[in-house]
Amino acid sequence: MEVPIITREDIENAYSLSKNINQTRIDPHILRAQRFDLRPILGSYLYNQFINGLQVTTPEQRWLDLLNGKEYLSQNNNTVFFYGAKPVVVSYAFSRIMLNNNSNVTRGGNTSKTTAESTPQTSKSDAYRITAAKQDGVQYAAGLTQFLDDNRVTYPEYGQGLDSNTGKKQSIGFFNASR
């Protein structure tokens, strides 16, 4: 069973997120970020190995490094600090939360939350935060791809999860908000 690889605290460490949003409301956005944003980067095979590898009692160090990042020497013998897959998921999950946070689908139709204690942000402000989080995700994803390219011996599964329709690795990009 697929479980979230990050928590609300991980998101709070990177972005401003209300403590009033509970984990059960956040988890679907985390899982979507994992499935639709992280999986295409890793490829299906490595993604499945990674998710399963994190769910054992004592995960292998390579899975922890892939999740949390590490300092390593590149192929050019330069020291690189890799931030891990976690900030990729955090960035994309936060942008998904921002897209959906102020609305609910009810039996009476779509509703927007408003309270006497708060003032909803403008659409322009929300759009800026969503775009900034997506751009963060793209940058972290580039670092993830570079790490995997530099560490193919440690992650031989990388590249084995090619798109079954095209035989090519799926491209990185902004997610489609309609997913």
Q: What is the mean pLDDT of residues 36-43?
A: 96
pLDDT at 179: 40
Query: What is the SS3 assignment for the chain?
Result: CCCCCCCHHHHHHHCCCCCCCCHHHHHHHHHHHHHHHHHHHHCHHHHHHHHHHHCCCCCCHHHHHHHHCEEEECCCCCEEEECCCHHHHHHHHHHHHHHHCCEEEECCEEEECCCCCCCCCCHHHHHHHHHHHHHHHHHHHHHHHHHHHHCCCCCCCCCCCCCCCCCCCCCCCCCCCCC
The β-bridge partners of 81 are 71
Q: Are 81 and 130 in contact (CB under 8 A)?
A: no
Residue boundaries of the structural domains of the chain: 8-101+122-150
Digit-coded pLDDT (tens) for 71-107: 999 888 999 999 999 999 999 999 999 887 765 555 6
pTM, two decimals, is: 0.81
Look at residue 127 in the predicted model and tell me its pLDDT: 85
Per-residue pLDDT tens digits for 4-19: 999 999 999 999 888 8
